[in-house]
Amino acid sequence: MSAHALRTDADFEAFYERHWKYVYRLCYTYMRSEADAEDCTEDVFVKVLTGDFAFEDETHERKWLTITSINLCKDRLKSYGRRNVDSLDDEAAPEVAAPEQEDYSDVREAVLALPPKLKEVIWLYYFDGYSTDEIAKMLGSPPSTVRNRMRDARNLLKDRLGTDFGE
């Protein structure tokens, strides 16, 4: 498939509509604040709008958005000088659970409470469906490091939730 650029306003609008919810949820997992997640989401799309990007397909778009969103959020958190961001109450959190009507807020909160390096691999694997090899490429880490982080995160989640997470 040939690469396509976002040349017109209509191209950008379609791109934005395809991806804004995903980018917002990803930013929220890092920022833990609606306002900060909105700011980061806006900044990600400003990069797209002001850059000269040509994406191969929708998968390439999503991978680029994932890496850009993660890096932007990490940079923003460093600039804020805060490593542990306090969580907001449940009614302020966006819905990131599966489409079933069941309440997964305890799982969501347990994942969001993980240390950043563990949270990102769990999020990318379970919520976004990337393989450990794909996550390793995105994060610039060896696949064994990603698998070790997955194991550590699952163990923490098992302790917090009292059940196995994944596998």
Residues 120-139: tens digit of each pLDDT: 888 888 877 888 998 898 88
pTM: 0.62
- Whether the per-residue pLDDT at 159 is higher than 90: the answer is no
- Domains annotated for the chain, with CATH where assigned, are 1-94 (1.10.1740), 100-167 (1.10.10.10)
| Percent of the chain's residues with pLDDT above 90 | 26
Residue-averaged pLDDT of the chain: 79
Vertex 24: Cα angle to 75 and 82 (nearest 5): 35
Report, as an integer, the average pLDDT of 34-40.
92
- Whether the per-residue pLDDT at 1 is higher than 70: the answer is no
Asked if residue 32 lies in contact with residue 85, where contact means CB atoms within 8 angstroms, the answer is yes
Question: 97: number of CA atoms within 13 Å, CB side?
Answer: 15
| Cross-strand bridge partners of residue 55 | 4
Inter-helix orientation angle 34-50/9-31, to 10°: 140
